[in-house]
Amino acid sequence: MANPYTKHRIRKITRRFGIRALRSGTVASFYRENAIIQVQTKMGTYALKPFFRNALLRTSTVHQMKTTAAYLELLMNSGFTYMPKWLTTRSGKLWTLHRERPFYMTEWIKGRNLEKNEDFEELGRALATLHTTSSGILDTKGPSTHNQIRIWKIQDRLFRRRMNKAIQNHERNRKWYKIYGKYCKRLTDRAWANLNSPEVVDLLKKEANRPALIHNDITSPNVIISENGQLFIIDWDRVKVGSIYVDLAKALMNTTQFNPDFILALLKGYEERRPLDQTERKLISSLYGLPREAWHATQFPHESRSREMLDILKKTWDPRLKAMDLIDEWTKSIPKEIEVVNEITD
């Protein structure tokens, strides 16, 4: 596929942000070939990013870009420091429209990936800061954990139907289903039981009155430790009002590689700024245990990526189970001082 971002087009867009591009080149992501344009100038290096519509939402691309920019302005005005500096256009906006596609620019963060316990502690602090900062500045209610659970229950039902059909008709992935499908069913059955417990149901009702912004895509490539040691979270295209518990559970799954030290470090950093009571821990543990990768991998069984994802699941199955046991133990080992604080606040 030809690169759609010619030098002329890039220079025309960057000029709107007061930037004169000297050199530029595209960088691929896991999902897109030309995901980011790296722009070099006399003043430094910047990231020019096209904004793509979230197909799960019914709103237009421009509406989604406006909403994203509004959330980011709230965070910047509240002093949130864990994201790159966003550039403004000459008209003062955080984005511009070119050929019906929104674009935005940020500083380019050069650095390394998450490597040490200290990195994961800082990621935990960054997430907790995002969740607590935004909960005090929003004046709207948004989708909560309950909404996400409803979607995941639909995915679980579809997974079970595909599994039964594949086993009966000797379809592709039949062997994988026969070995691991029953374990996926056990994991989800246990999670649904925990999520239906009275204390968790009560927590989810209260959550609706405490809206917060979530990044919604915390993965290893989206977290960078800069050359001066500062942690940055990048790629804020999917920021939204949502469940902080889902955000944390997905971050644990997508960054720690099932490493016990990294898992505990991330949770430690998070609780330094936002302590979690036993019910919240139980909720996070239940969400972490859901086999979401299996649901996605089996959705399109004839695609090569599906086979690759199932192979990864097979290779990492034992570490996954051990990580789930670790988080279960963490759920039960809540410090006394947190219990006292929660009793006072209740």
CATH (domain of 85) = 3.30.200.20
Ordered strands of the 111-112 beta sheet: 111-112, 223-226, 231-233
**Per-residue pLDDT at 344:** 42
SS3 50: strand
Same-domain check for residues 121 and 94? no
Q: Is residue 176 part of a domain?
A: yes
Q: Are residues 192 and 334 in the same domain?
A: yes
Token pair 């009571």 is at which residue?
A: 277
Q: Judge contact between 227 and 79, C-beta under 8 A.
A: no
* pLDDT (tens place) for every residue of the chain, 346 residues total: 456 788 899 999 999 999 999 999 888 776 677 789 999 999 999 999 999 999 888 899 999 999 999 999 999 999 999 999 999 999 999 999 999 999 999 999 999 999 999 999 999 999 999 999 988 777 776 668 988 999 999 999 999 999 998 888 877 788 899 999 999 999 999 999 999 999 999 999 988 888 899 999 999 999 999 999 999 999 999 999 999 999 999 999 999 999 999 999 999 999 999 999 999 999 999 999 999 999 999 888 888 888 888 999 999 999 999 999 999 999 988 765 555 445 444 5
> H/E element holding 105?
strand 101-107
Domain shared by 156 and 234, yes or no: yes
For residue 40, how many other CB atoms are within 10 A of its CB? 14
Contact by Cβ (8 Å): 71, 239: yes
Burial-class residue 42 by CB neighbours within 10 Å (0-12, 13-18, 19+).
exposed
CATH code of the domain in which 297 resides: 3.90.1200.10
Residue 153 is assigned to a structural domain of this protein: yes
pLDDT at 168: 85
Cα 6 to Cα 315: distance, rounded to the nearest angstrom = 42
Sign of CA dihedral 207, 213, 217, 221: negative
Do 141 and 84 fall into the same domain? Answer: no
**Phi-psi map region of 173: left, alpha, beta (phi>0 left; psi -120 to 50 alpha):** left
User: What Cα–Cα distance (Å) separates residue 319 from each residue in 79, 281, 312, 323?
Assistant: 38, 20, 12, 6
According to the model, what pLDDT value does residue 302 have?
A: 81
Beta carbons of 239 and 216 less than 8 angstroms apart: yes
Domain check: are 220 and 307 in the same one? Answer: yes
Our count of domains for the chain comes to: 2
**Is residue 345 assigned to a domain?**
no
If asked whether residues 80 and 206 sit together in one domain, one would say no
Of 62, 91, 108, the last residue of a domain is 108
The pLDDT of residue 4: 77
Residues 96 and 224 in one domain: no
Same domain, 173 and 92: no
The token pair that represents 112 in the structure block: 């390394």
* Site of tokens 């403004």: 88
pLDDT of residue 159: 95
Question: Are 157 and 279 in the same domain?
Answer: yes
Side-chain-side CA neighbours of residue 241 (13 Å): 19
Contact partners, residue 235, CB within 8 Å, separation at least 6 = 49, 217, 221, 222
Is residue 235 within 8 A of residue 263, CB to CB? The reply is: no
Q: Tokens standing for 12?
A: 């025309």
Same domain for 150 and 202, yes or no, is yes
Q: Is residue 11 a part of any domain in this protein?
A: no
Q: Are 167 and 177 in contact (CB under 8 A)?
A: yes
User: 145 lies in a domain?
Assistant: yes
What pLDDT score does 136 carry? 75
Within its chain, how far is the Cα of 81 from the centroid?
18
CA–CA separation, 328 vs 71, rounded Å? 34
Contact 212, 131 (CB under 8 A): yes
Last residue of a domain, one of 82, 108, 134: 108
- Confirm whether pTM is higher than 0.85: yes
- pLDDT, position 337: 56
30 with 127, same domain: the answer is no
- Structural domain boundaries enclosing 95: 17-108
Q: What pLDDT, on the 0 to 100 scale, is given for residue 170?
A: 74
Say how far apart CA 341 and CA 337 lie, in whole Å: 6
Do residues 189 and 68 both lie within one domain?
no
